[in-house]
Amino acid sequence: MAELAADQHVRYIVTVEKKKDSFESLVMEHIRLNGAYWGLTTLDLLHKLHAVDAAEVVDWIMSCYHPESGGFGGNVGHDPHVLYTLSAVQVLCLFDRLDVLDIDKVADYVAGLQNEDGSFSGDVWGEVDTRACCSVSPQLRYARALRFRLPCRYQLASKADEPVLSHNRSAPRLEDLMITAGALGQKKGSAQALRPSCLCGAIPHSIRELIYNSWFSYIALCTLSLLHRLHKINMQKAVDFVVSCKNLDGGFGAMPGGESHAGQIFCCVGALAITGSLHHIDRDLLGWWLCERQCKDGGLNGRPEKLADVCYSWWVLSSLIMIDRVHWIDKEKLTKFILNCQDKETGGISDRPDNAVDIYHTYFGVAGLSLMEYPGVKPMDPAYALPLDVVNRIFLRK
């Protein structure tokens, strides 16, 4: 079996970080803080976090902070969002530098995004705004990705079954969004070039998923837990919302009635693990659905009839570990699949063998190997998506 090209991966990550004008850096400009979490966590898993200047990273993270709201943007000058707030907290945890935060201010930002039904919005623009309502084009099924590409300010007017959008006065024009969404939809899958910007999640079934989505529940709960501030939210309602996303097949969707998808399952199982609520899961039923994700080539897919992708090594395995069913996967075949996706010369891991590498798949490939106890890779915590020693430092020190 091929071996993990750890040194090359470290070099690849450090190079991507430095080349601010490369294509990969440019398309990830708006999600740079998330990318920093992927790259730096990979370095730590490979025992090479010292390859970057910690003080420089912490200074840059704090330059993405919005002191008036308490949230972090995806890069300097970008609007705050709960995802980048989690990434900032996770990276600060890696460096043991939570001391630079006004913890209550950040926690209040996240807690303030909880909705009446217990779900969370991704940012303050998720608030209901009935101005300038318009109906949804199917093109906007791609808008979850766009939400992280543009300062997208479209909002839900109601939680009615027929989704209705509204936008506030500073929003980009809807037509522009639809054109961009259409372009993204056509190119997705066929254009390698777009891949790094299409990383943000499964295609939502409706625009409602952009606003009320179980990943925001995970993100909020994970952030608050790392900050020891879970008491700031209505936890019962948060758990009830996550449980309401459970399907008859044992899996979870992005919202009640949404199709089961491995990424959403990680979010819901992680949220339930963090809140001590795993008893809501039928472990055998969910374990069966998850282990059926293993394809003939050994890789895992995210839902039935789809191709395997290295990133699901994380989303599926972490969920299986949290419900004690990871032994239902053929680890040897999966390890081989991940290692075959490496670029052994210039470093990095791709979604499938022979495709172009990127930071996202490099992280999830190494993280998957970590969950399978690959030699030389630090063990990871499946719920917090951080190295185990980092998580132990946070919770055992307290």
Interface contacts to ligand GRG, rule CB under 6 A:
83, 201-203, 215, 218-219, 263-264, 266-267, 302-303, 306, 309, 311, 315, 385
205: buried, middle or exposed (CB in 10 Å: 19+, 13-18, 0-12)?
middle
Smallest gap from Cβ 38 to ligand GRG, in A, equals: 9
Smallest gap from Cβ 213 to ligand GRG, in A, equals: 9
Q: How far is CA 3 from CA 58, 196, 337, in A?
A: 33, 25, 12
The residue among 73 and 171 lying less far from ligand GRG, judged by its C-beta, is 73
The residue among 14 and 200 lying less far from ligand GRG, judged by its C-beta, is 200
Please give the full DSSP string across 290-319, using - where no structure is assigned: HHTTB-TTS-B-SSTT----TTHHHHHHHH
The residue among 100 and 200 lying less far from ligand GRG, judged by its C-beta, is 200
3-class SS of residue 166: strand
The residue among 163 and 302 lying less far from ligand GRG, judged by its C-beta, is 302
Report residue 345 as tokens: 């010369």
Q: What residue has token string 């917090």?
A: 384
CB 253 within 8 A of CB 213: no
* CB neighbour list of residue 212: distance below 8 Å, 6 or more residues apart: 115, 117, 119, 120, 121, 126, 156, 159, 255
Nearest to 148 by CA among 214, 219, 82: 82
> Bridge partners of 381?
386
CB 324 within 8 A of CB 283: yes
Smallest gap from Cβ 259 to ligand GRG, in A, equals: 9
Q: How far is CA 397 from CA 47, 96, 391, 392, in A?
A: 22, 11, 10, 8
Q: Which helix (H) or strand (E) holds 207?
A: none
The residue among 16 and 184 lying less far from ligand GRG, judged by its C-beta, is 184
Smallest gap from Cβ 243 to ligand GRG, in A, equals: 18
Q: How far apart are CA 243 and CA 252, in angstroms?
A: 8
The residue among 250 and 263 lying less far from ligand GRG, judged by its C-beta, is 263
Smallest gap from Cβ 360 to ligand GRG, in A, equals: 8
In the DSSP assignment, the letter for residue 172 is P
Count how many residues are written for the chain: 398
Smallest gap from Cβ 128 to ligand GRG, in A, equals: 24
Report residue 39 as tokens: 């790259």
Smallest gap from Cβ 173 to ligand GRG, in A, equals: 26
Smallest gap from Cβ 386 to ligand GRG, in A, equals: 8
The residue among 152 and 219 lying less far from ligand GRG, judged by its C-beta, is 219
**Angle 115-119-122 from CA coordinates, rounded to 5°:** 80
CB 142 within 8 A of CB 188: yes
Q: How far is CA 221 from CA 244, 265, 294, 312, in A?
A: 16, 15, 29, 22
The residue among 5 and 385 lying less far from ligand GRG, judged by its C-beta, is 385
Distance, first Cα to last Cα, the chain = 42
Smallest gap from Cβ 83 to ligand GRG, in A, equals: 6
The residue among 281 and 371 lying less far from ligand GRG, judged by its C-beta, is 371
The residue among 266 and 337 lying less far from ligand GRG, judged by its C-beta, is 266
3-class SS of residue 25: helix
Nearest residue to ligand GRG on Cβ basis = 263
Smallest gap from Cβ 384 to ligand GRG, in A, equals: 8
The residue among 70 and 201 lying less far from ligand GRG, judged by its C-beta, is 201
Smallest gap from Cβ 170 to ligand GRG, in A, equals: 25
